[in-house]
Chain A
Amino acid sequence: MDQSSSYQTPLHEPIDVDATFSRSILGHCRPVAFRTKSGREVLISEVGLVHPRYDGLKTVFAFDITDGSSDYRITLDSESLNWYLEFEGDQYA
């Protein structure tokens, strides 16, 4: 393949997330920004899709987001309420 999705290497890196909670048809929780362990801050410009992933009775919410130059997937574990950076996509400039 010449060019492929970089959603291949799972990171599963714990992150800090700023999020808003509101009554919205697209879901109540919207992440606004996140900070990685190394101190890198990413401002989220758009939330593409929020979908649940089920692991038995546990639900993990996956947020596919972008900062305008890269795609990311961050997840919220509904049991532990921890956020993780799962994948970072290619920059298709």
Chain B
Amino acid sequence: MLERRPPNDILYIDLNSCFATIEQQSRPMLRGRPVAITNRLVPNSCIIAASYEAKAYGVKVGMRSREASAICPGLIYAETEPDKFIFVHEKLKRIMSDYSASVVMKSIDEGVIDLTQSPKHIYERSRFELGYEIKQRLKDEIGCYMRCNVGIASNRFLAKLAGELHKPDGLDEITAENQREIFATLKLTDLPGINVRMEARLNAVGIMTPLQFLDANEDTLVKLVCKSIDGHKWYRRLRGIEVDSTTSDIKTVGRQFVLDGKNLSRAETDARLVHLAEDVGYRLRSKQLYARGIYAWTYDFTRGYTHTQLIAKEAFNSDYEIARLARELYKKLPCPVRIIGITLYKLQPTADAQLCFDQPRKDHIDTICATTDKINLRFGARKIHSADSFGTDQVKCKIPFGSTRYLDHSIT
């Protein structure tokens, strides 16, 4: 039997055009102007955020700057500044944490407040009042140009959908009473989690609109659409029952880099690879983890995606070992390439207990690594690093989309 729909205790907070708005907040001369944010100010770079003024001209995330400039004359480009974005993320998180003990940041610019974990004097307040207060606090505590969408509902899915109804600066609630009315105005792909492929699967069984999706019976969703437990989840999700509150452990740690030149030699690419290995190693050690598997991949200019991987005999987490294994793998991959990436997998919380023949050397490497981390934490990122990654400052850390696990100021 289906559980009862819980009360509207979920608030979904989403900053509007986050990176562009922060840039407009920090540089008042950019306000009211079309602004595009890119990771690097180079010709034909990829736009990762656009201001509402730029969006009005049709500039979209993922668009190349050449194309964007053609449709939006006078478009102003700004490079990402992770420090600034992380500061706003932390401020937002602090504001949200004042309302509940249960706050989950879904990404750098959005998060969920679960009011069931709130103190009584907050829980009893009107949800709209809380929403308006958060909006005002964002302006008071970060800056007057900051805006956010607030969505209120009984689960994360509907709260996110509510937050997306009136952008920018919206505040909406989806209840059991108004849900059908709201769904009647939407397309399937307006629902969070429904992409064109999922839409095609729904269309194949005659579900063409969100209302038909809502009215579909559980068996249809399980047996014909999702063909898995996901069908049960969708059936509950659409009815305001929480199915997305689970948290997952870290399964992989990785980084990628779009190379800063078309004709980099193998040695130059290797230097950037060692830099990536050092970043990935620091992330791994910051979570007190070891890895057994390493996966190296590239996008080259002609053949597209190539990858290779190996499982090491012993768990590792030193920069030296990660760089050594990564270089070994990259010898098998083509060169020159456009993008390089390393991903560590088969993570475990401890090193292998079994001593190896090479133990003194292994201990020596681990000691060097731990000392390097201490020095960098005290004096700043990459104050000391391998000579093999010398001159690769361009491989600087960018904004991590998705996970917010590594958003702390000591990141390399």
Stretch at the interface among B76-84, B121-129, B292-300: B76-84
- Minimal Cβ-Cβ distance residue in A for B137: A25
Number of interface residues of B (CB under 8 A): 38
The residues of B that contact A8 with a CB separation of less than 8 Å are 41, 79
Least Cβ–Cβ distance between A30 and chain B, in angstroms:
13
Q: Is the pair B83, A53 in contact by a Cβ cutoff of 8 Å?
A: yes
Least Cβ–Cβ distance between B267 and chain A, in angstroms:
28
Q: List 15 A-B contacts (CB under 8 A).
A: A1-B69, A3-B74, A3-B77, A4-B41, A49-B25, A49-B26, A54-B409, A56-B376, A56-B381, A57-B379, A64-B26, A66-B28, A70-B29, A90-B76, A92-B33
Q: Does B206 reach chain A (CB closer than 8 Å)?
A: no
The residues of B that contact A3 with a CB separation of less than 8 Å are 74-77
Knowing that A5-B41, A71-B29 are A-B contacts, what are 18 other residue pairs whose CB atoms are under 8 Å apart, sorted by A's residue number?
A1-B65, A1-B69, A2-B73, A3-B74, A3-B77, A4-B78, A5-B78, A26-B141, A49-B142, A55-B380, A56-B377, A56-B378, A57-B378, A57-B379, A64-B27, A89-B27, A92-B30, A92-B33
Q: Is the pair B378, A5 in contact by a Cβ cutoff of 8 Å?
A: no
- Minimal Cβ-Cβ distance residue in B for A58: B380
Q: Does A46 reach chain B (CB closer than 8 Å)?
A: yes
A: residues with CB less than 8 A from B are 1-5, 7-8, 25-26, 46, 48-49, 51-58, 62, 64, 66, 69-71, 89-92
Q: Does B383 reach chain A (CB closer than 8 Å)?
A: yes
The residues of A that contact B65 with a CB separation of less than 8 Å are 1
Q: Is the pair B83, A62 in contact by a Cβ cutoff of 8 Å?
A: yes
Q: Is the pair A51, B27 in contact by a Cβ cutoff of 8 Å?
A: no
Least Cβ–Cβ distance between B261 and chain A, in angstroms:
18
The residues of A that contact B28 with a CB separation of less than 8 Å are 46, 48, 66, 71
